């Protein structure tokens, strides 16, 4: 027969065991979530670097294609003309979002200079995480302070790639924090 003291010990043991089990489960869930966020971040970094490499492999400007040299700011495209050139370049398929599960993106065959990518949107398929959304922005940068964007023409173009995915880390309000990568292209006008 169990007396009142023994019942209290059994109930206390169950409370301690339940608390311990909840803590272990919470730790396992947090560890799993952190692992998925880290893996998604690494995939996003790879996607972003691939995008930067593609953009920066293009000619500096539409007006410098085919070896044409630019020596003054008036020889390059004004900021308000950034984006795809001509009727063959714009990507209108899938609502203007370049989408591929195999890496055969339309931008690779339609775009020929850096500023064609201004406003460009892409969806990249990952077999483990699904679709990653990519946006590209192109701006002129101040030649005296390459961290400052400017609306006037310079021989520095900044490339900003923003990657979003639901599994990327979240802020305190549980909003996804997009991964932002930046690089720049410098036009060497005298050699």
Buried b (16+ CB within 10 A) or exposed e, 55-66: beebbbbbebee
- How buried is 140 (Cβ within 10 angstroms: 0-12 exposed, 13-18 middle, 19+ buried)? buried
Mean pLDDT per block of 10 residues along the chain (191 residues) reads 70 75 64 76 96 96 91 94 85 92 93 95 95 97 94 96 95 94 90 61
- Identify the DSSP state of 76: S
**Residue 6 has what pLDDT?**
73
**Residue 33 has what pLDDT?**
59
Contact assessment for residue 187 and residue 58, using Cβ atoms and an 8 Å cutoff: no
**Residue 15 has what pLDDT?**
77
**Residue 191 has what pLDDT?**
61
Stated pTM of the model: 0.81
């Amino acid at each position: 027969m169990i007396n009142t003291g023994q019942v209290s010990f059994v109930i206390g043991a169950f409370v301690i065991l339940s608390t311990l089990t909840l803590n272990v489960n919470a730790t396992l869930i947090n560890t799993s979530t952190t692992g998925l966020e880290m893996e998604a971040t690494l995939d996003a970094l790879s996607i972003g670097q691939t995008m930067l490499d593609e953009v920066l492999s293009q000619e500096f400007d539409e007006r410098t294609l085919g070896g044409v040299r630019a020596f003054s700011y008036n020889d390059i495209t004004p900021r308000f003309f950034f984006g795809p050139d001509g009727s063959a370049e714009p990507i209108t398929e899938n609502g203007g979002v370049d989408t591929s599960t195999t890496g055969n993106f339309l931008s690779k065959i339609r775009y020929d200079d850096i500023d064609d990518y201004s406003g460009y949107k892409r969806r990249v398929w990952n077999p483990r995480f699904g679709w990653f959304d990519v946006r590209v922005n192109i701006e002129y940068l101040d030649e005296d302070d390459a961290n400052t964007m400017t609306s006037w023409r310079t021989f520095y173009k900044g490339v900003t790639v923003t990657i979003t995915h639901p599994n990327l880390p979240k802020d305190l309000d549980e909003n996804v924090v997009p991964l932002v990568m930046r690089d720049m292209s410098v036009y060497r006008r005298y050699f």
